[in-house]
Amino acid sequence: MNSNELAPQVAARLKSALPGAISDSYSDGRGLVIRCEPAAIREVLAFLRDDRQCPFDLLANITAVDWSAWSRQDEQPDRPARFSVIYNLYSTSARARLFVEVFVETAAALPSATPVYASANWSEREVFDMFGLRFTGHPDLRRIYLSDDFAGHPLRKDFPRHGRQPQDHPQE
């Protein structure tokens, strides 16, 4: 069974097993994308990992997108929040990829995926460091690339394009 045939079946099983957890599912150039409610992310990931017909046993990575400067809200009404966090899952047995997308505001926090996938540890720290998004229940949520005294989050659209100004750096 190829990915195109598999995608609708996975989405249907997920919607049936966790009613209300999925707000939308669609296919695009990446493949199947499932939009999930933020509070249900851990349950959705656990279901997909443990699915008997097509287990998504590998969390390849987690990333985020800051949509604030890309489009006006009236042009993209389906984007309910500034950020989307995207979980890239892979099924080694079916050789299929699936993306789970969650929209979140700046001050909100998502439940950590580390209890479901241990590999989420590093990726969640990276998203925290680069975007400033928080994950509740993460075992060690701290900066991973930048120093603790670094001000800001470089992958946010509101971060200065040319880096920090000299007055932003304390003199040593």
15-49 pLDDT, tens digit per residue, is 999 999 998 888 888 788 999 999 999 999 999 99
Q: Does pLDDT of 170 surpass 60? A: no
More confident residue, 68 or 154: 154
Helix (H) or strand (E) holding 59: strand 58-66
Q: Which of 1-10, 31-40, 72-81, 119-128 is least confident?
A: 72-81
Q: Does pLDDT of 168 surpass 70? A: no
Helix (H) or strand (E) holding 27: strand 22-28
In the chain, pLDDT over 70 holds for what percent of residues?
Answer: 85
Q: Does pLDDT of 142 surpass 50? A: yes
| 146-155: average pLDDT | 91
pLDDT band at 74 (very low <50, low <70, confident <90, very high): low
- Dihedral through CA 66, CA 27, CA 134, CA 123, nearest 10? -100
Q: Would you kindly state where each structural domain of the chain is located, as residue ranges?
A: 3-160
Q: Decide if 141 contacts 154 (C-beta within 8 A).
A: no
Class at the top of the CATH hierarchy for domain 3-160: alpha beta
The candidate with the shortest Cα–Cα distance to 128, out of 114, 113, 115, 109, is 109
